[in-house]
């Protein structure tokens, strides 16, 4: 079982002068969910190398068992420091793809041709893709085989407008995840802010916020085991 995790390379929070990147919990929780299930996990990002960590995800209030496990895990830290370049990745080498969020992906991965092609190829090959928190925004320009937006007519979740408002970044981000999923024809749903919520529609798995990252990863594993039993 080979799973590709795609992280952002973008570290500037608009023109605020502040830093952004990927959200630590949204990387650590799925990473260990996959590793503990025996998956071979490959990490990639648009620029390769060390992806930028959102400093807010590193403050004491944001720590979880998984983030603490990561901080005590030199092998995982080394893997993260040497992500592969996304443009050099072959979709066919993996059984599934997972996108952690953080604000960074809204700037780079949402517009990245290699990312768009990767998602289209993975779904086209009948393999699942999971995206959590801000990462469902990465589906913005992804198309289904018929040329429609990939989320059109699909049940999806993602970071809510009210969660973005609570983060104080509504005016800073290039687009709002909830809005863009709706504009592209997605059947968007949500629960109370900051509560775990994952939606699966076919091969597409989307989670609302950081708390949804481990449940989204577990849903992806479940989907892989279902596909494995039906393909034999």
Task: List, for residues 172-224, the tens digit of each pLDDT value.
Answer: 999 999 999 999 999 999 999 999 999 999 999 999 999 999 999 999 999 99
Domain ranges for the chain = 2-231
Q: Which of 147, 92, 83, 141 is nearest to 112 (CA)?
A: 141
Place of tokens 């863009």: 180
pTM of the full predicted structure?
0.97
Classify 6 in phi/psi space as left (phi over 0), alpha (psi -120 to 50) or beta. Answer: beta
CATH topology of domain 2-231: Rossmann fold (3.40.50)
**Predicted confidence band at 230 (pLDDT cuts at 50, 70, 90)?**
confident
């Amino acid at each position: 079982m080979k799973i590709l995790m795609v992280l952002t390379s973008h570290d500037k929070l608009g023109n605020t002068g502040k830093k952004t990147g990927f959200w630590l919990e949204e990387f650590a929780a799925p990473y260990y969910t996959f590793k503990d299930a025996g998956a071979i996990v490959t990490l990639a990002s648009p620029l390769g190398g060390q992806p930028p960590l959102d400093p807010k995800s590193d403050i004491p209030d944001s720590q979880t068992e998984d983030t603490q496990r990561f901080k005590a895990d030199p092998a995982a830290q080394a893997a993260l420091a040497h992500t592969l370049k996304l443009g050099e990745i072959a979709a066919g080498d993996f059984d599934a793809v997972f996108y952690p969020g953080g604000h960074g992906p809204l700037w780079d991965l949402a517009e990245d041709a290699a990312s768009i092609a990767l998602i289209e190829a993975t779904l086209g090959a009948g393999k699942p893709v999971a995206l959590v928190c801000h990462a469902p925004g990465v589906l913005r320009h992804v198309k289904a085989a018929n040329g429609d937006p990939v989320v059109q007519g699909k049940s999806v979740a993602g970071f809510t407008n009210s969660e973005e408002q609570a983060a104080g970044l509504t005016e800073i981000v290039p687009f709002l995840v909830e809005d863009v999923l709706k504009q592209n024809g997605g059947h968007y749903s949500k629960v109370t802010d900051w509560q775990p919520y994952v939606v699966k529609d076919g091969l597409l798995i989307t989670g609302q916020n950081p708390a949804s990252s481990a449940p989204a990863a577990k849903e992806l594993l479940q989907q892989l085991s279902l596909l494995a039993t039906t393909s034999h």
